[in-house]
Structure 1
Protein backbone atom coordinates (compact mmCIF):
# COMPACT_ATOMS: atom_id res chain seq x y z
CA UNK A 1 0.00 0.00 0.00
CA UNK A 2 1.47 3.34 -1.07
CA UNK A 3 0.62 6.71 0.38
CA UNK A 4 -1.37 9.22 -1.64
CA UNK A 5 -1.35 12.98 -1.23
CA UNK A 6 -3.43 14.09 1.72
CA UNK A 7 -7.03 14.60 0.67
CA UNK A 8 -8.16 18.15 1.33
CA UNK A 9 -11.79 19.06 0.80
CA UNK A 10 -12.99 22.20 -0.93
CA UNK A 11 -13.76 23.73 2.48
CA UNK A 12 -10.34 22.92 3.90
CA UNK A 13 -10.67 19.66 5.86
CA UNK A 14 -7.81 17.16 5.66
CA UNK A 15 -9.06 13.59 5.49
CA UNK A 16 -7.20 10.51 6.64
CA UNK A 17 -6.87 8.02 3.80
CA UNK A 18 -5.20 4.84 2.61
CA UNK A 19 -4.38 4.15 -1.02
CA UNK A 20 -4.11 0.62 -2.41
CA UNK A 21 -2.63 0.85 -5.92
CA UNK A 22 -3.72 -1.57 -8.60
CA UNK A 23 -5.25 -1.05 -12.02
CA UNK A 24 -6.64 2.08 -13.68
CA UNK A 25 -10.19 1.47 -12.44
CA UNK A 26 -10.61 2.73 -8.89
CA UNK A 27 -13.03 2.00 -6.07
CA UNK A 28 -13.69 4.47 -3.26
CA UNK A 29 -14.94 3.00 0.04
CA UNK A 30 -17.35 5.15 2.09
CA UNK A 31 -17.87 4.04 5.70
CA UNK A 32 -20.82 4.43 8.06
CA UNK A 33 -21.54 6.91 10.83
CA UNK A 34 -19.28 6.65 13.93
CA UNK A 35 -16.89 4.47 11.89
CA UNK A 36 -13.67 5.10 10.00
CA UNK A 37 -11.76 4.00 6.94
CA UNK A 38 -11.52 0.40 8.20
CA UNK A 39 -15.30 -0.16 8.58
CA UNK A 40 -14.57 -2.62 11.40
CA UNK A 41 -12.02 -4.42 9.23
CA UNK A 42 -14.37 -5.13 6.34
CA UNK A 43 -12.92 -2.38 4.16
CA UNK A 44 -9.35 -3.52 4.76
CA UNK A 45 -10.16 -7.00 3.49
CA UNK A 46 -12.31 -5.66 0.66
CA UNK A 47 -9.46 -3.43 -0.50
CA UNK A 48 -7.07 -6.39 -0.59
CA UNK A 49 -9.51 -8.47 -2.63
CA UNK A 50 -10.24 -5.62 -5.03
CA UNK A 51 -6.54 -5.01 -5.67
CA UNK A 52 -6.12 -8.72 -6.39
CA UNK A 53 -8.95 -8.36 -8.93
CA UNK A 54 -7.16 -5.49 -10.68
CA UNK A 55 -8.63 -2.38 -9.04
CA UNK A 56 -7.02 0.49 -7.20
CA UNK A 57 -8.77 1.34 -3.93
CA UNK A 58 -9.08 4.47 -1.82
CA UNK A 59 -10.24 4.19 1.77
CA UNK A 60 -10.85 7.37 3.74
CA UNK A 61 -12.45 8.64 6.93
CA UNK A 62 -15.17 11.27 6.71
CA UNK A 63 -14.60 14.52 8.62
CA UNK A 64 -15.09 14.10 12.35
CA UNK A 65 -14.32 10.38 12.07
CA UNK A 66 -11.13 8.44 12.65
CA UNK A 67 -7.99 10.53 12.17
CA UNK A 68 -9.62 13.03 9.81
CA UNK A 69 -9.98 16.64 10.84
CA UNK A 70 -13.15 17.95 12.44
CA UNK A 71 -15.28 17.19 15.49
CA UNK A 72 -17.96 14.50 15.36
CA UNK A 73 -20.63 16.93 16.59
CA UNK A 74 -19.88 19.24 13.64
CA UNK A 75 -20.38 16.60 10.96
CA UNK A 76 -23.21 17.12 8.48
CA UNK A 77 -24.41 15.42 5.34
CA UNK A 78 -23.40 18.57 3.46
CA UNK A 79 -19.87 18.11 4.75
CA UNK A 80 -19.81 14.43 3.84
CA UNK A 81 -20.86 15.32 0.30
CA UNK A 82 -17.73 17.46 0.04
CA UNK A 83 -15.62 14.68 1.55
CA UNK A 84 -16.86 12.08 -0.92
CA UNK A 85 -16.35 14.45 -3.84
CA UNK A 86 -12.75 15.04 -2.78
CA UNK A 87 -12.15 11.30 -2.38
CA UNK A 88 -13.58 10.46 -5.80
CA UNK A 89 -11.46 13.18 -7.41
CA UNK A 90 -8.33 11.93 -5.65
CA UNK A 91 -8.97 8.34 -6.71
CA UNK A 92 -9.63 9.32 -10.32
CA UNK A 93 -6.43 11.37 -10.46
CA UNK A 94 -4.30 8.67 -8.86
CA UNK A 95 -5.63 5.70 -10.84
CA UNK A 96 -6.42 7.42 -14.13
CA UNK A 97 -9.60 5.51 -14.91
CA UNK A 98 -13.27 5.31 -13.93
CA UNK A 99 -14.33 5.32 -10.29
CA UNK A 100 -16.92 3.20 -8.50
CA UNK A 101 -18.06 3.55 -4.89
CA UNK A 102 -18.81 0.97 -2.22
CA UNK A 103 -20.81 2.64 0.55
CA UNK A 104 -21.75 1.08 3.87
CA UNK A 105 -24.70 2.13 6.03
CA UNK A 106 -24.66 5.94 6.48
CA UNK A 107 -22.03 6.19 3.76
CA UNK A 108 -24.87 5.48 1.36
CA UNK A 109 -26.46 8.83 2.24
CA UNK A 110 -23.72 10.98 0.73
CA UNK A 111 -23.23 8.45 -2.06
CA UNK A 112 -26.82 8.39 -3.25
CA UNK A 113 -27.19 12.15 -2.89
CA UNK A 114 -24.05 12.57 -5.04
CA UNK A 115 -25.03 10.32 -7.92
CA UNK A 116 -26.53 13.13 -9.99
CA UNK A 117 -23.27 15.10 -9.98
CA UNK A 118 -20.29 12.84 -9.28
CA UNK A 119 -18.58 10.98 -12.17
CA UNK A 120 -19.18 7.52 -10.72
CA UNK A 121 -19.39 4.44 -12.95
CA UNK A 122 -21.25 2.18 -10.52
CA UNK A 123 -22.11 1.78 -6.84
CA UNK A 124 -22.44 -1.02 -4.33
CA UNK A 125 -24.55 -0.21 -1.28
CA UNK A 126 -24.09 -2.29 1.85
CA UNK A 127 -26.96 -2.13 4.35
CA UNK A 128 -27.76 1.39 3.10
CA UNK A 129 -29.52 4.13 5.03
CA UNK A 130 -32.12 5.25 2.47
CA UNK A 131 -34.80 6.72 4.75
CA UNK A 132 -33.38 9.15 7.30
CA UNK A 133 -36.68 9.73 9.06
CA UNK A 134 -37.40 6.05 9.66
CA UNK A 135 -33.81 5.37 10.71
CA UNK A 136 -33.11 8.34 13.00
CA UNK A 137 -36.13 10.57 13.62
CA UNK A 138 -38.85 7.94 13.93
CA UNK A 139 -36.78 4.75 14.32
CA UNK A 140 -38.57 1.49 13.70
CA UNK A 141 -35.95 -1.16 14.46
CA UNK A 142 -34.64 -2.24 17.89
CA UNK A 143 -31.16 -0.75 17.66
CA UNK A 144 -32.43 2.53 16.25
CA UNK A 145 -35.15 2.80 18.88
CA UNK A 146 -32.58 2.26 21.62
CA UNK A 147 -30.14 4.82 20.24
CA UNK A 148 -32.32 7.61 18.88
CA UNK A 149 -35.70 7.68 20.61
CA UNK A 150 -34.53 9.93 23.45
CA UNK A 151 -32.98 13.02 21.89
CA UNK A 152 -33.29 15.25 24.95
CA UNK A 153 -29.52 15.83 24.97
CA UNK A 154 -29.93 17.82 21.76
CA UNK A 155 -32.02 20.30 23.74
CA UNK A 156 -30.06 20.10 26.98
CA UNK A 157 -26.48 19.94 25.67
CA UNK A 158 -26.70 21.03 22.05
CA UNK A 159 -25.54 17.66 20.77
CA UNK A 160 -26.72 14.05 20.72
CA UNK A 161 -24.54 11.59 22.62
CA UNK A 162 -24.37 8.05 21.21
CA UNK A 163 -23.52 5.80 24.15
CA UNK A 164 -20.74 8.13 25.31
CA UNK A 165 -18.63 7.37 22.25
CA UNK A 166 -19.80 9.75 19.54
CA UNK A 167 -21.53 13.12 19.47
CA UNK A 168 -23.92 14.31 16.74
CA UNK A 169 -24.92 17.95 16.39
CA UNK A 170 -28.34 19.50 15.91
CA UNK A 171 -27.63 20.58 12.29
CA UNK A 172 -27.33 16.92 11.27
CA UNK A 173 -30.76 16.12 12.68
CA UNK A 174 -32.19 19.13 10.86
CA UNK A 175 -30.83 17.69 7.62
CA UNK A 176 -32.59 14.42 8.41
CA UNK A 177 -35.95 16.23 8.15
CA UNK A 178 -35.44 17.30 4.54
CA UNK A 179 -32.97 15.03 2.75
CA UNK A 180 -34.18 11.98 0.81
CA UNK A 181 -31.43 9.51 -0.16
CA UNK A 182 -33.99 7.03 -1.47
CA UNK A 183 -35.44 9.51 -3.97
CA UNK A 184 -31.96 10.49 -5.11
CA UNK A 185 -31.02 6.84 -5.63
CA UNK A 186 -34.19 6.14 -7.60
CA UNK A 187 -33.60 9.17 -9.81
CA UNK A 188 -30.01 8.25 -10.67
CA UNK A 189 -29.01 5.96 -13.53
CA UNK A 190 -25.71 4.50 -12.33
CA UNK A 191 -25.70 0.68 -12.18
CA UNK A 192 -25.99 -0.49 -8.59
CA UNK A 193 -25.85 -3.58 -6.41
CA UNK A 194 -27.56 -3.48 -3.00
CA UNK A 195 -26.62 -5.98 -0.27
CA UNK A 196 -28.49 -6.12 3.04
CA UNK A 197 -28.77 -8.61 5.89
CA UNK A 198 -32.33 -9.79 6.46
CA UNK A 199 -31.78 -9.68 10.24
CA UNK A 200 -30.50 -6.08 10.32
CA UNK A 201 -31.55 -4.59 13.65
CA UNK A 202 -30.54 -1.01 12.83
CA UNK A 203 -31.20 -0.11 9.17
CA UNK A 204 -34.28 -1.33 7.33
CA UNK A 205 -33.80 -4.35 5.09
CA UNK A 206 -37.36 -3.92 3.78
CA UNK A 207 -36.78 -0.35 2.61
CA UNK A 208 -33.60 -1.39 0.81
CA UNK A 209 -35.31 -4.36 -0.83
CA UNK A 210 -38.27 -2.32 -2.04
CA UNK A 211 -36.00 0.42 -3.35
CA UNK A 212 -33.79 -1.99 -5.27
CA UNK A 213 -36.86 -3.66 -6.77
CA UNK A 214 -38.21 -0.30 -7.94
CA UNK A 215 -34.97 0.78 -9.60
CA UNK A 216 -33.89 -0.40 -13.08
CA UNK A 217 -30.37 -1.78 -13.39
CA UNK A 218 -30.10 -2.62 -9.72
CA UNK A 219 -28.95 -5.95 -8.36
CA UNK A 220 -30.12 -7.18 -4.96
CA UNK A 221 -28.88 -9.73 -2.46
CA UNK A 222 -30.64 -10.38 0.82
CA UNK A 223 -28.05 -11.95 3.11
CA UNK A 224 -29.83 -14.65 5.14
CA UNK A 225 -29.49 -14.43 8.90
CA UNK A 226 -27.05 -11.54 9.02
CA UNK A 227 -27.45 -8.29 10.91
CA UNK A 228 -25.92 -4.84 10.65
CA UNK A 229 -22.20 -5.01 9.97
CA UNK A 230 -22.26 -8.45 8.27
CA UNK A 231 -20.58 -10.07 11.26
CA UNK A 232 -21.68 -13.55 10.22
CA UNK A 233 -21.19 -13.53 6.47
CA UNK A 234 -18.78 -10.70 5.80
CA UNK A 235 -16.44 -12.77 3.59
CA UNK A 236 -19.35 -13.72 1.33
CA UNK A 237 -20.47 -10.09 1.08
CA UNK A 238 -16.94 -9.04 0.14
CA UNK A 239 -16.66 -11.79 -2.48
CA UNK A 240 -20.02 -10.86 -4.02
CA UNK A 241 -19.00 -7.19 -4.12
CA UNK A 242 -15.73 -7.94 -5.91
CA UNK A 243 -17.46 -10.21 -8.43
CA UNK A 244 -20.08 -7.61 -9.26
CA UNK A 245 -17.59 -4.77 -9.67
CA UNK A 246 -15.36 -6.96 -11.83
CA UNK A 247 -18.34 -7.84 -14.03
CA UNK A 248 -19.06 -4.15 -14.56
CA UNK A 249 -15.42 -3.42 -15.42
CA UNK A 250 -15.26 -6.01 -18.19
Structure 2
Protein backbone atom coordinates (compact mmCIF):
# COMPACT_ATOMS: atom_id res chain seq x y z
CA UNK A 1 0.00 0.00 0.00
CA UNK A 2 1.07 3.58 -0.57
CA UNK A 3 -0.39 6.99 0.21
CA UNK A 4 -0.93 9.32 -2.76
CA UNK A 5 -1.64 13.00 -2.43
CA UNK A 6 -5.10 13.91 -3.65
CA UNK A 7 -5.91 17.60 -3.92
CA UNK A 8 -9.36 18.68 -5.06
CA UNK A 9 -10.05 21.54 -7.44
CA UNK A 10 -10.97 23.73 -4.48
CA UNK A 11 -7.74 22.88 -2.66
CA UNK A 12 -8.83 20.28 -0.12
CA UNK A 13 -6.30 17.56 0.70
CA UNK A 14 -7.77 14.08 0.84
CA UNK A 15 -6.28 11.24 2.85
CA UNK A 16 -5.88 8.27 0.50
CA UNK A 17 -4.13 4.95 0.09
CA UNK A 18 -3.50 2.68 -2.90
CA UNK A 19 -3.40 -1.11 -2.78
CA UNK A 20 -1.15 -2.29 -5.61
CA UNK A 21 -1.46 -5.74 -7.18
CA UNK A 22 2.24 -6.39 -6.67
CA UNK A 23 3.96 -8.42 -9.35
CA UNK A 24 0.68 -9.34 -11.03
CA UNK A 25 -0.28 -7.55 -14.25
CA UNK A 26 -2.90 -4.95 -13.39
CA UNK A 27 -6.33 -6.20 -14.46
CA UNK A 28 -8.21 -3.08 -13.46
CA UNK A 29 -8.46 -0.16 -11.04
CA UNK A 30 -11.15 0.22 -8.38
CA UNK A 31 -12.07 3.32 -6.36
CA UNK A 32 -13.85 2.83 -3.03
CA UNK A 33 -16.17 5.68 -1.94
CA UNK A 34 -17.25 5.33 1.70
CA UNK A 35 -20.40 6.37 3.52
CA UNK A 36 -21.14 9.33 5.76
CA UNK A 37 -19.53 9.31 9.26
CA UNK A 38 -16.97 6.71 8.05
CA UNK A 39 -13.57 7.14 6.39
CA UNK A 40 -11.40 5.40 3.81
CA UNK A 41 -11.29 2.22 5.96
CA UNK A 42 -15.09 2.07 6.37
CA UNK A 43 -14.76 0.19 9.66
CA UNK A 44 -12.61 -2.44 7.94
CA UNK A 45 -14.96 -3.32 5.09
CA UNK A 46 -13.15 -1.16 2.53
CA UNK A 47 -9.80 -2.62 3.60
CA UNK A 48 -11.07 -6.17 3.15
CA UNK A 49 -12.48 -5.42 -0.29
CA UNK A 50 -9.26 -3.69 -1.35
CA UNK A 51 -6.98 -6.46 -0.10
CA UNK A 52 -9.01 -9.13 -1.87
CA UNK A 53 -9.11 -7.19 -5.12
CA UNK A 54 -5.39 -6.45 -4.99
CA UNK A 55 -4.69 -10.15 -4.62
CA UNK A 56 -6.68 -10.73 -7.82
CA UNK A 57 -4.68 -8.18 -9.79
CA UNK A 58 -6.48 -4.88 -9.20
CA UNK A 59 -5.14 -1.56 -7.98
CA UNK A 60 -7.53 -0.10 -5.41
CA UNK A 61 -7.74 3.54 -4.36
CA UNK A 62 -9.41 4.25 -1.04
CA UNK A 63 -9.88 7.84 0.12
CA UNK A 64 -11.65 9.77 2.84
CA UNK A 65 -14.14 12.41 1.77
CA UNK A 66 -13.58 15.96 3.08
CA UNK A 67 -14.49 16.34 6.73
CA UNK A 68 -14.02 12.60 7.27
CA UNK A 69 -11.04 10.77 8.73
CA UNK A 70 -7.88 12.83 8.38
CA UNK A 71 -8.85 14.55 5.14
CA UNK A 72 -9.03 18.31 5.04
CA UNK A 73 -12.18 20.27 5.70
CA UNK A 74 -14.57 19.99 8.63
CA UNK A 75 -17.51 17.78 9.40
CA UNK A 76 -19.96 20.69 9.36
CA UNK A 77 -18.47 21.90 6.08
CA UNK A 78 -18.99 18.59 4.27
CA UNK A 79 -21.51 18.88 1.42
CA UNK A 80 -22.76 16.78 -1.46
CA UNK A 81 -21.18 19.24 -3.89
CA UNK A 82 -17.89 18.97 -2.04
CA UNK A 83 -17.99 15.18 -2.11
CA UNK A 84 -18.54 15.33 -5.87
CA UNK A 85 -15.31 17.34 -6.12
CA UNK A 86 -13.58 14.76 -3.93
CA UNK A 87 -14.72 11.92 -6.16
CA UNK A 88 -13.59 13.85 -9.23
CA UNK A 89 -10.11 14.16 -7.69
CA UNK A 90 -10.00 10.41 -7.04
CA UNK A 91 -11.09 9.59 -10.61
CA UNK A 92 -8.53 12.01 -12.06
CA UNK A 93 -5.75 10.46 -9.98
CA UNK A 94 -6.76 6.94 -10.98
CA UNK A 95 -6.83 7.86 -14.67
CA UNK A 96 -3.39 9.46 -14.53
CA UNK A 97 -1.53 7.20 -12.11
CA UNK A 98 -3.38 3.86 -12.25
CA UNK A 99 -4.51 3.56 -15.87
CA UNK A 100 -6.67 0.47 -16.37
CA UNK A 101 -10.39 -0.31 -16.77
CA UNK A 102 -11.96 1.67 -13.94
CA UNK A 103 -14.64 0.39 -11.57
CA UNK A 104 -16.12 2.00 -8.48
CA UNK A 105 -17.55 0.72 -5.21
CA UNK A 106 -19.88 3.29 -3.67
CA UNK A 107 -21.00 2.44 -0.16
CA UNK A 108 -24.01 3.95 1.60
CA UNK A 109 -23.87 7.78 1.26
CA UNK A 110 -20.94 7.41 -1.13
CA UNK A 111 -23.56 6.46 -3.71
CA UNK A 112 -24.97 10.01 -3.63
CA UNK A 113 -21.93 11.79 -5.08
CA UNK A 114 -21.34 8.81 -7.38
CA UNK A 115 -24.80 8.80 -8.93
CA UNK A 116 -24.89 12.58 -9.29
CA UNK A 117 -21.52 12.36 -11.08
CA UNK A 118 -22.69 9.77 -13.62
CA UNK A 119 -23.46 12.34 -16.35
CA UNK A 120 -19.68 12.80 -16.78
CA UNK A 121 -18.45 9.61 -15.10
CA UNK A 122 -20.61 6.95 -16.73
CA UNK A 123 -18.59 6.49 -19.92
CA UNK A 124 -15.38 6.14 -17.89
CA UNK A 125 -16.64 3.24 -15.77
CA UNK A 126 -16.22 -0.45 -16.45
CA UNK A 127 -18.47 -1.56 -13.61
CA UNK A 128 -20.22 0.00 -10.62
CA UNK A 129 -21.00 -1.59 -7.26
CA UNK A 130 -23.53 0.05 -4.95
CA UNK A 131 -23.08 -1.41 -1.47
CA UNK A 132 -26.07 -0.77 0.87
CA UNK A 133 -26.52 2.45 -1.12
CA UNK A 134 -28.55 5.58 -0.60
CA UNK A 135 -30.65 5.54 -3.77
CA UNK A 136 -33.51 7.79 -2.70
CA UNK A 137 -32.72 10.90 -0.67
CA UNK A 138 -36.37 11.66 -0.06
CA UNK A 139 -37.19 8.25 1.42
CA UNK A 140 -33.93 8.11 3.40
CA UNK A 141 -33.66 11.68 4.73
CA UNK A 142 -36.48 14.08 3.80
CA UNK A 143 -39.40 11.85 4.76
CA UNK A 144 -37.39 8.99 6.25
CA UNK A 145 -38.86 5.49 6.23
CA UNK A 146 -36.25 3.73 8.35
CA UNK A 147 -35.70 3.90 12.14
CA UNK A 148 -32.26 5.50 11.69
CA UNK A 149 -33.62 8.11 9.33
CA UNK A 150 -36.51 9.01 11.61
CA UNK A 151 -34.08 9.37 14.51
CA UNK A 152 -31.60 11.68 12.77
CA UNK A 153 -33.68 13.57 10.18
CA UNK A 154 -36.94 14.32 11.92
CA UNK A 155 -38.58 17.79 11.78
CA UNK A 156 -37.09 18.40 15.23
CA UNK A 157 -33.60 17.57 13.95
CA UNK A 158 -34.12 19.82 10.94
CA UNK A 159 -35.06 22.66 13.27
CA UNK A 160 -31.98 21.94 15.36
CA UNK A 161 -29.79 22.05 12.25
CA UNK A 162 -31.21 25.42 11.27
CA UNK A 163 -30.75 26.86 14.77
CA UNK A 164 -27.37 25.48 15.89
CA UNK A 165 -25.85 24.77 12.49
CA UNK A 166 -25.60 20.98 12.66
CA UNK A 167 -27.12 17.73 13.86
CA UNK A 168 -25.08 14.99 15.51
CA UNK A 169 -25.28 11.77 13.49
CA UNK A 170 -24.44 8.44 15.11
CA UNK A 171 -23.14 10.39 18.09
CA UNK A 172 -19.91 11.25 16.27
CA UNK A 173 -20.49 13.28 13.09
CA UNK A 174 -21.60 16.91 13.00
CA UNK A 175 -23.68 17.10 9.83
CA UNK A 176 -23.98 20.75 8.87
CA UNK A 177 -27.06 22.71 7.90
CA UNK A 178 -25.92 23.13 4.28
CA UNK A 179 -25.73 19.38 3.67
CA UNK A 180 -28.96 18.93 5.58
CA UNK A 181 -30.63 21.35 3.16
CA UNK A 182 -28.97 19.81 0.08
CA UNK A 183 -30.75 16.53 0.78
CA UNK A 184 -34.04 18.14 -0.21
CA UNK A 185 -32.89 19.31 -3.63
CA UNK A 186 -31.32 16.32 -5.37
CA UNK A 187 -33.00 13.47 -7.24
CA UNK A 188 -30.74 10.46 -7.77
CA UNK A 189 -33.10 8.56 -10.07
CA UNK A 190 -32.53 10.42 -13.39
CA UNK A 191 -28.74 9.93 -13.57
CA UNK A 192 -29.05 6.36 -12.33
CA UNK A 193 -31.70 5.46 -14.88
CA UNK A 194 -29.84 7.18 -17.72
CA UNK A 195 -26.58 5.35 -16.99
CA UNK A 196 -25.57 2.31 -19.03
CA UNK A 197 -22.70 1.03 -16.88
CA UNK A 198 -23.34 -2.48 -15.48
CA UNK A 199 -24.37 -2.19 -11.82
CA UNK A 200 -24.38 -4.60 -8.91
CA UNK A 201 -26.40 -3.58 -5.83
CA UNK A 202 -25.63 -5.41 -2.59
CA UNK A 203 -27.97 -4.72 0.33
CA UNK A 204 -29.54 -6.42 3.31
CA UNK A 205 -33.30 -6.87 3.39
CA UNK A 206 -33.37 -5.81 7.07
CA UNK A 207 -31.55 -2.50 6.54
CA UNK A 208 -32.65 0.00 9.20
CA UNK A 209 -30.70 2.91 7.67
CA UNK A 210 -31.61 3.01 3.97
CA UNK A 211 -34.82 1.42 2.66
CA UNK A 212 -34.21 -1.94 1.01
CA UNK A 213 -37.32 -1.44 -1.10
CA UNK A 214 -35.62 1.47 -2.87
CA UNK A 215 -32.87 -0.89 -4.03
CA UNK A 216 -35.37 -3.53 -5.10
CA UNK A 217 -37.34 -1.03 -7.16
CA UNK A 218 -34.23 0.52 -8.67
CA UNK A 219 -32.85 -2.83 -9.77
CA UNK A 220 -36.20 -3.85 -11.25
CA UNK A 221 -36.54 -0.74 -13.40
CA UNK A 222 -32.98 -0.16 -14.65
CA UNK A 223 -31.30 -2.19 -17.40
CA UNK A 224 -27.90 -3.77 -16.72
CA UNK A 225 -28.52 -3.92 -12.98
CA UNK A 226 -28.55 -6.87 -10.57
CA UNK A 227 -29.57 -6.86 -6.91
CA UNK A 228 -27.84 -9.28 -4.56
CA UNK A 229 -29.91 -9.49 -1.37
CA UNK A 230 -28.19 -10.23 1.92
CA UNK A 231 -30.99 -12.08 3.67
CA UNK A 232 -31.40 -10.87 7.25
CA UNK A 233 -28.64 -8.27 7.02
CA UNK A 234 -28.82 -4.77 8.48
CA UNK A 235 -26.86 -1.77 7.21
CA UNK A 236 -23.75 -2.61 9.21
CA UNK A 237 -23.55 -6.08 7.60
CA UNK A 238 -22.93 -7.73 10.98
CA UNK A 239 -22.81 -11.47 10.38
CA UNK A 240 -23.06 -10.94 6.63
CA UNK A 241 -19.87 -9.06 5.80
CA UNK A 242 -18.14 -12.17 4.42
CA UNK A 243 -20.93 -12.68 1.90
CA UNK A 244 -21.04 -9.00 0.99
CA UNK A 245 -17.27 -8.71 0.47
CA UNK A 246 -17.05 -11.95 -1.49
CA UNK A 247 -19.94 -10.93 -3.74
CA UNK A 248 -18.32 -7.58 -4.52
CA UNK A 249 -14.89 -9.10 -5.10
CA UNK A 250 -16.19 -11.94 -7.27
CA UNK A 251 -18.16 -9.53 -9.45
CA UNK A 252 -15.36 -7.00 -9.88
CA UNK A 253 -12.65 -9.62 -10.14
CA UNK A 254 -14.36 -11.80 -12.72
CA UNK A 255 -13.86 -12.05 -16.46
CA UNK A 256 -12.74 -8.57 -17.62
CA UNK A 257 -14.90 -8.93 -20.76
CA UNK A 258 -17.93 -10.03 -18.76
CA UNK A 259 -19.84 -6.70 -18.66
CA UNK A 260 -19.58 -6.33 -22.42
CA UNK A 261 -21.16 -9.65 -23.31
CA UNK A 262 -24.58 -8.96 -24.93
CA UNK A 263 -25.96 -12.18 -23.46
CA UNK A 264 -24.93 -11.22 -19.94
CA UNK A 265 -26.13 -7.66 -20.26
CA UNK A 266 -29.47 -8.90 -21.49
CA UNK A 267 -29.72 -11.27 -18.55
CA UNK A 268 -29.13 -8.36 -16.18
CA UNK A 269 -32.36 -6.60 -17.15
CA UNK A 270 -34.01 -7.66 -13.90
Report the TM range for the smaller structure's normalisation.
over 0.9
Which of 109, 117, 126 is matched with 1:121 structurally? 126
Superposed displacement of residue 92, structure 1: 2.1
Which aligned pairs between 1:13-24 and structure 2 lie closer than 5 A? 13-22=12-21, 23-24=26-27
Give ranges in structure 1 of 5+ residues lacking alignment. none
Asked whether the 8 Å contact 1:42–1:234 carries over to 2, the reply is: yes
Q: Could you say what secondary structure the match of 1:73 adopts?
A: coil
Residues 108-143 of structure 1: CA deviation (Å, up to 9, x unaligned): 001111112022221000111011111112111111
Residues 176-203 of structure 1: CA deviation (Å, up to 9, x unaligned): 1111112221111111100110000010
Which of 138, 141, 144 is matched with 1:139 structurally? 144
- Could you tell me how far apart the structure 1 residues matched to 2:248 and 2:169 are? 30
Partner of 2:75: 72
- Could you tell me how far apart the structure 2 residues matched to 1:72 and 1:248 are? 40
Q: Could you say what secondary structure the match of 2:42 adopts?
A: coil
Comparing 90-99 and 235-244, the one that deviates more: 90-99
Partner of 1:90: 93
Asked whether the 8 Å contact 2:127–2:199 carries over to 1, the reply is: yes
- Could you tell me how far apart the structure 2 residues matched to 1:21 and 1:89 are? 17
- Could you tell me how far apart the structure 2 residues matched to 1:209 and 1:246 are? 24
Asked whether the 8 Å contact 2:27–2:256 carries over to 1, the reply is: no
Asked whether the 8 Å contact 2:161–2:180 carries over to 1, the reply is: no
Superposed displacement of residue 174, structure 1: 2.0
- Could you tell me how far apart the structure 2 residues matched to 1:86 and 1:129 are? 22
Superposed displacement of residue 42, structure 1: 0.3
Q: Could you say what secondary structure the match of 2:93 adopts?
A: helix
Residues 3-25 of structure 1: CA deviation (Å, up to 9, x unaligned): 32x10001100000011112151
Residues 148-198 of structure 1: CA deviation (Å, up to 9, x unaligned): 213132132122222541111121122111111122211111111001100
Q: Could you say what secondary structure the match of 2:128 adopts?
A: strand
The two structures, once aligned, show a CA RMSD in angstroms of 1.3
Partner of 2:266: none
Give aligned pairs, total.
249
1:32 aligns with 2:35: yes
Q: Could you say what secondary structure the match of 2:174 adopts?
A: strand
Partner of 1:188: 195
- Could you tell me how far apart the structure 1 residues matched to 2:62 and 2:225 are? 24
Q: Could you say what secondary structure the match of 1:249 adopts?
A: coil
Superposed displacement of residue 221, structure 1: 0.6
Q: Could you say what secondary structure the match of 1:117 adopts?
A: helix
TM-score normalised per structure 1:
0.96
Q: 1:163 to 1:199 in 2, by over 3 A?
A: closer
Asked whether the 8 Å contact 1:80–1:110 carries over to 2, the reply is: yes
TM-score normalised per structure 2:
0.89
Asked whether the 8 Å contact 1:24–1:95 carries over to 2, the reply is: no
